[in-house]
A and B are shown apart, each in its own frame.
Chain A
Amino acid sequence: MFLVVPKICKISNHVGGNMRSKSVVTWAGVSALALYSSMAVGSKYNFPEPQSVIAKDIYDMHIWLLWICLAIFVGVFGVMFYSILKHRKSLGYKAANFHHSTMVEVVWTAIPCLILIVMAWPATKTIIAMKDTSGSEMTIKATGYQWMWGYDYLQGEGEGISFFSKLSTPKAQIENKAPKGENYLLEVDNRVVVPVGKKVRVIITANDVLHAWWVPALGVKQDAIPGFIRDVWFTADAPGVYRGQCAELCGKDHGFMPIVVEVMAADDYTKWVAGQLSASVVKTSMHIENK
């Protein structure tokens, strides 16, 4: 996004030099885009930078809907505030007496319906895509516990790896006895590691109460339900560390069971798998022989 803005600014300068009316239009376009881009960069005011196809869809859909909402907002309150300013008793304005118009009612029932159809269409496509967990290249089971996550690599490269993932922020930081680090409450002892560009299916369940497995940058959130399994998928676009938190109240330490996903390049991931498997005693020798 940083790259896009200067490029367009350059074009706009060029056009602005040629024609004046056009330059006004271009300026409006540029400022709109700049606003859009500043939203994209400043994740403090918006979703974190999307790192998967679905997260990107959600991100764009949200921005698009905000523009629609803004347009409606300006329209409705433009009329209302004009009326508030002009149609006041203190200005001597005399009240009209109209109170009914079927035509008007029909029109302003129909328009919101049309707007909603425009909103629902892209959402429908994304929902269908989100639900399609077929063709995944690896499967990981995530189990919510009070208060940590357990991970089992069920299928694909890394099959057989199994570990727990707990908050690693020291208690002293939470109790304000030590300065808080950058990833305060968003750091764990064992990260879930996945390869970049592979469709990963996550099977989610819980052991005791409800939890929810949520990684915003990957566009994935799913309740973990004891006794039932649900599944979601993601394909990470780029290597990196993506952090999330439990999103369903699960008791005392609900705020202290983060999720950290580390996305690695394919060969790094292979090395990580080898390291994990050789570290564990059981079942590992067969896997290593196969490789």
Chain B
Amino acid sequence: MAAVHGDAHGHGHDDHHPSGIMRWVTTTNHKDIGTMYLWFSFFMFMVGGTLAMGIRAELYQPGIQILEPELFNQFTTLHGLIMVFGAIMPAFVGFANWQVPMMIGAPDMAFARMNNWSFWLLPVAATLLISSFFVPGGAAAGGWTFYPPLSVQGGLGVDLMIFAIHILGASSIMGSINIITTILNMRAPGMTLMKMPMFVWTWLITAYLLVLVMPVLAGVVTMLLTDRHFGTSFFNAAGGGDPVMFQHIFWFFGHPEVYIMILPAFGIVSEIIPTFSRKPLFGYSSMVYATASIAILSCVVWAHHMFTAGMPAVGQLFFMYATMLIAVPTAVKVFNWTATMWRGSMTFETPMLFSIGFIFLFVIGGFSGVICAIVPIDIQVQDTYYVIAHFHYVLVSGALFALFAGAYYWIPKWTGHMYNETLGKWHFWLSMFFFNMTFFVQHFLGLAGMPRRVPDYNLQFADFNMISSIGAFGFGLSQLLFLYIMVNCIRSGEKASQKPWDGATSLEWTHLPCPAPYHSFEKPPIVK
């Protein structure tokens, strides 16, 4: 491409694209598609958040006040599905779209038209999910894990969910093939694999995980569909099937899935910590190996979600040991981040605050993860609020905080404007305070015996639930501040210099202006 255009600035045919709505429908530009992914995921984050507010409002006091039990179950189910498949995953793909080509010095993604297609599948799937609330029988109500036989009982809403998952899965598989191809084939000359930025490394590994497990998910929902409508008995004991087999197949997808949502977060944090410590990432190669080890181990630990389903003692021991082992590469990552900060020259802008908040709270989620890995303790806390607390510590203060960190970090590159630093810090501290208020007390609820997915509870759980609900409302409102900060930045933020972060070293900061031009790196940079 560079040879054809030969533009001195390395970005030739700027802005030759349709305008208005057709720009977005037909675009094959990685930046446009990245932007759409990010706005889409934020919209879904708001939808999923609204459902969470409904859940916490019902749980504010004992007794049934707002949501009838059946509707409550629909809320919890769709909250989980929308947050996982609609908010967190597309947000990371949005980051990959924007950042991977710029960070490896490529002009665009490898399959630009497929990129457009993988995005435009998402609104279709989201429509199916959200509209399922309004069909007879309502939305799926069997939890985001939709275990049969309960999910065989549900109505049309379950079928809509199955189709939505098929479509989302197709989108994810295409997106990850695109990312793998881009990273493996389109790196700038001189950028060897072991010189890639950590964010690119984590996404490469994540994309492989996605290609591995999304077809498994597609398979299991298809089996569920045929069990529901076409007389098969994969999961029905009366017909020779086994409901527990569903759980094995689901979690073979589901456990790598949680690492799919956290590895790119590790990548973002591994970019930000060195930048604001003004010091190179400590132990780059061990970070790469740790990421790969986590990904490989994540494929052999799935049954730790099923300790109470009943399995032989050797099975429990194997899955317990394998799960505990994941703590080792994860700990190595935390130590490396700490060593990167050690004797750095740190400043604490919003991206850095969210990254430190990420490490701090993710480690708490990691500890509760180790506690959950211990089978006898898991027997007590499985399907209680303890588990809810655990996975929100790794997914909200883990994945989501890293997404916030990344958004503040790269928004100057994307828009050419700086965000309001004071408001950004407010956003961080409010999120930090209300997040812990919401979820820390849930550890106690779980230990004391409150099951998850219940709309009502005994009076002994009343005060912690009230605290948690107030925290959740505060956390939800704080995210409107994020929306305001971002819109304000795009419309009227201060002009950003090419490199507003003096410690940044990756290509998008060293080689491209702010905002990055519509077409960047048509002529690849030389990496030494």
Contact = CB atoms under 8 A, between A and B. Distances in A.
A48 B65 CA distance: 28
Please indicate which of the listed interface residues B281, B371, B454 has the most CB atoms of chain A within 10 Å of its own CB: B454
Query: Interface majority SS on B: helix, strand, loop or mixed?
Result: helix
A216 B380 contact: yes
Interface stretch (A150-158, A181-189, A260-268): A181-189
B379 A246 contact: no
A60 to B, nearest CB: 10
B421 interface: no
Nearest to B329: A109
A54 B376 CA distance: 8
Contacts of B347: 88-90
Interface residues of B, number: 89
B367 A73 contact: yes
B458 A126 contact: no
Interface in A80-109: 80, 83-84, 87-90, 93-101, 104-105, 108-109
B459 A127 contact: no
B64 A116 contact: no
Interface in A123-181: 123-124, 126-128, 130-131, 173-176, 180
B72 to A, nearest CB: 9
A290 B366 CA distance: 58
Contacts of A123: 320, 374-377
A267 to B, nearest CB: 31
A249 B143 contact: yes
B150 A87 contact: no
Contact of B380 (A58, A77, A176, A249): A58
Interface stretch (A18-26, A27-35, A61-69, A272-280): A61-69
Contacts of B382: 221, 247
B317 interface: yes
B227 interface: no
Contacts of B63: 173-176, 180
Please indicate which of the listed interface residues B141, B312, B375, B449 has the most CB atoms of chain A within 10 Å of its own CB: B449
Contact of B356 (A54, A84, A130): A84
A76 B364 CA distance: 12
Interface string B335-358: 100111111111110000000100
A80 B278 CA distance: 16
Given A61-B374, A108-B332, A116-B324, A43 B448 contact: yes
Interface stretch (A7-15, A190-198, A204-212): A204-212
Contact of A228 (B237, B286, B364, B457): B237
A199 interface: no
Nearest to B276: A89
A97 B380 contact: no
Contacts of B344: 83, 87, 93, 95-96
Contacts of B321: 120
Interface in B145-178: 147-150, 153
B380 A109 contact: no
Contact of B377 (A61, A186, A222, A256): A61
Given A112-B328, A123-B320, A44 B444 contact: yes
A212 B370 CA distance: 23
Contacts of A246: 451
Contacts of A105: 283, 286, 332
A65 B381 CA distance: 14
A135 to B, nearest CB: 16
B459 A120 contact: no
Contacts of A65: 370-371, 374, 377
A221 B363 contact: no
A76 B335 contact: yes
Interface in A214-235: 214, 216, 219-223, 225-228, 230
A101 B282 CA distance: 8
B459 A180 contact: yes
A266 B313 CA distance: 32
Contacts of B62: 180, 184
A220 B62 CA distance: 26
Please indicate which of the listed interface residues B70, B149, B284, B374 has the most CB atoms of chain A within 10 Å of its own CB: B374
B43 interface: no
B371 A73 contact: no
Contact of B363 (A62, A76, A131, A244): A76
Nearest to A50: B380
The 6 A-B pairs with the shortest beta carbon distances in the complex, nearest first, are: A227-B237, A255-B454, A230-B310, A95-B345, A99-B280, A96-B343
Given A80-B356, A251-B73, 4 more contacts: A79-B338, A99-B282, A112-B332, A130-B376
13 contacts: A46-B448, A47-B449, A69-B371, A80-B338, A80-B356, A89-B278, A90-B347, A93-B343, A116-B325, A127-B316, A175-B63, A219-B380, A254-B451
Interface of A: 43-48, 54, 57-58, 61-62, 65-66, 69, 72-73, 76-77, 79-80, 83-84, 87-90, 93-101, 104-105, 108-109, 112-113, 116, 119-120, 123-124, 126-128, 130-131, 173-176, 180, 182-186, 208-210, 212, 214, 216, 219-223, 225-228, 230, 244-256
